[in-house]
Amino acid sequence: MRVLGIETSCDETGVAVFDSRCGVLAQALHTQVDLHAVYGGVVPELASRDHIRLLPVLIRQTLRETGLDVADLDAVAYTAGPGLAGALLVGASVAEAMAMSAGIPALPIHHLEGHLLSPLLSDDPPAFPFVALLVSGGHTQLMRVADVGDYELLGETLDDAAGEAFDKTAKILGLGYPGGPQLAALASRGEAGRFKLPRPMLRSGDFDFSFSGLKTAVLNVVSSPDWRPEYQANLAADFQQAVVDVLTAKTMAALEHTGMRALVVAGGVGANRALRAGLDAAVARIGARVHYPAPELCTDNGVMIAFAGAQRLVRGELPPADLAIRVRPRWPLAELIRPAD
Ligand code: KG4
Ligand code: ZN
């Protein structure tokens, strides 16, 4: 099965062709970071327009690299949600039109399913079932993953996502967009433990998170009369450590609760080195294993969408046979239907 994957849910235009026998045949990725940087965050209308500008170019480029024609594909998979409505519509319209013209199915894919299945592309993939920690700019969730399409939400953030907390805190500290990687770089030059930042919901007894109070705690520190700019790296390190402590503790509790011994970490924040170090150490202590996607698959990309589409296609899933173009800007992962066995 050969599937073309299209990702346009936010600020990355991603295209890839995945072959269920040979793996990734080609891929192309364009990030809009420079476009949005001057505004300090993603501007939805600009994101949509840039997807329109580049998606056809990247599709042509990817297909040329594989030497394939649209007619050689078995399906076109696209991110149908969650994400920015206008941005999603660009990918959905192009995918549906391409698929219709070639007489092949267009598969609507859940963005987070793409993220959480992406470690299966590694040389040493996890076996089902596993616990997944999804930590992106828009989501922070702990899921029990029994199989492709069989997801149970264990807990999630009640307010800001982990990536959002990184981005907002970076803004408070005067760092540029996207804040997560810049805050992490600053934190690596600091020492955690100087400021008494909270560990929100650490002992709540469930698998939910809350990060907005942490960002406010940082704001209070920098607004205090004792604040000095030279404390910045230490404060960044403290913030990062607080996020890592909560994510690690809740993830370990989820592993214990489910009795599972495999953990998958996916989403942009999964690239954070301190988080990886915290999870690696904690997971090793209980003799479990943690799987990360390859670094280039941690942030948004077309490969994970093509792969998720192929997984659903080989399991016999076919999309609704109508001409509707559907996107779901809000779409709970647990609502996904398991493809037929
Ligand atoms: O999964 P992703 O690429 O896009 C979404 O689906 O949201 O995640 C992007 C998020 C952003 O909030 C970004 O700041 C954060 O991941 N991020 C990081 C790091 N790299 C990306 N956060 C902390 N440390 C990092 N190294
Ligand atoms: Zn994402």
pLDDT 10s digits, 154-170: 999 999 999 999 999 99
Distance, in Å, from the CA atom of 4 to the CA atom of 95, rounded to the nearest integer, reads: 9
CA of 324 to the centre of ligand 1 (A): 32
> What is the model's pLDDT at position 121?
95
CA of 229 to the centre of ligand 2 (A): 32
> What is the model's pLDDT at position 197?
96
Verify whether ligand 1 is closer than 6 Å to residue 14 (CB atom): no
**Does the pLDDT at position 85 exceed 90?**
yes
> What is the model's pLDDT at position 318?
80
> What is the model's pLDDT at position 299?
87
The partner residues of 81 in beta bridges, in order of sequence, read: 110
Q: Say how many CA atoms lie within 13 Å of 318 toward its Cβ.
A: 7
Question: Residue 123's CB: how many other CB atoms inside 10 A?
Answer: 5
Could you tell me the pLDDT band of residue 42, with boundaries at 50, 70 and 90? very high
Verify whether ligand 1 is closer than 6 Å to residue 181 (CB atom): yes
- Average pLDDT over every residue of 37-66: 96
**Does the pLDDT at position 339 exceed 80?**
no
Verify whether ligand 1 is closer than 6 Å to residue 272 (CB atom): yes
Calculate the alpha carbon distances from 28 to 55, 154, 230, 268 in Å.
10, 34, 40, 18
Verify whether ligand 1 is closer than 6 Å to residue 138 (CB atom): yes
- Average pLDDT over every residue of 204-219: 96
CA of 68 to the centre of ligand 2 (A): 28
Higher local confidence (pLDDT), 22 or 336:
22
> What is the model's pLDDT at position 319?
80
Element (H, E) at 85: helix 85-102
Q: Is residue 206 within 8 Å of residue 246, measured between CB atoms?
A: no
Each residue's pLDDT tens digit, 187-208 = 999 999 999 899 999 999 999 9
Q: Exposed/middle/buried for 165, CB within 10 Å: 0-12, 13-18, 19+?
A: buried
Distance, in Å, from the CA atom of 37 to the CA atom of 28, rounded to the nearest integer, reads: 21
> What is the model's pLDDT at position 83?
96
The partner residues of 4 in beta bridges, in order of sequence, read: 17, 76
Q: Exposed/middle/buried for 210, CB within 10 Å: 0-12, 13-18, 19+?
A: middle
Distance, in Å, from the CA atom of 318 to the CA atom of 337, rounded to the nearest integer, reads: 12
Verify whether ligand 1 is closer than 6 Å to residue 163 (CB atom): yes
- CA-based end-to-end distance of the chain: 17
Higher local confidence (pLDDT), 93 or 322:
93
Share of the chain above pLDDT 70, in %: 99
CA of 181 to the centre of ligand 1 (A): 7
Give Cβ neighbours of residue 315 (< 8 Å, ≥ 6 apart): 148, 149, 339, 340, 341
The residue nearest atom 2 of ligand 1, judged by CA position, is 268
Mean pLDDT across the chain? 95
**Does the pLDDT at position 341 exceed 70?**
no
- Measured over the CA atoms of residue 252, residue 258, residue 260 and residue 263, the dihedral's sign is negative
Proximal ligand: closest to the CA of 84 = 1
- Average pLDDT over every residue of 50-65: 98
Could you tell me the pLDDT band of residue 340, with boundaries at 50, 70 and 90? low
For residue 157, give the DSSP letter. B
Distance, in Å, from the CA atom of 252 to the CA atom of 123, rounded to the nearest integer, reads: 25
Verify whether ligand 1 is closer than 6 Å to residue 299 (CB atom): yes
Verify whether ligand 1 is closer than 6 Å to residue 179 (CB atom): yes
Share of the chain above pLDDT 90, in %: 88
> What is the model's pLDDT at position 328?
93
Angle at 89 between CA 87 and CA 93, to 5 degrees: 135
Taking alpha carbons only, the member of 58, 275, 38 closest to residue 180 is 275
For residue 43, give the DSSP letter. -
- Average pLDDT over every residue of 247-269: 97
Question: Residue 48's CB: how many other CB atoms inside 10 A?
Answer: 18
Q: Indicate the Cα dihedral angle 304, 92, 177, 137, nearest 10°.
A: -60
**Does the pLDDT at position 337 exceed 80?**
no
- Please identify which residue in the block is written with the tokens 């996890």: 126
CA of 271 to the centre of ligand 1 (A): 8
> What is the model's pLDDT at position 177?
83
Q: Is residue 169 within 8 Å of residue 183, measured between CB atoms?
A: yes
Strands 150-156 and 262-266, sheet pairing: unpaired
Each residue's pLDDT tens digit, 86-118 = 999 999 999 999 999 999 999 999 999 999 999
> What is the model's pLDDT at position 274?
98
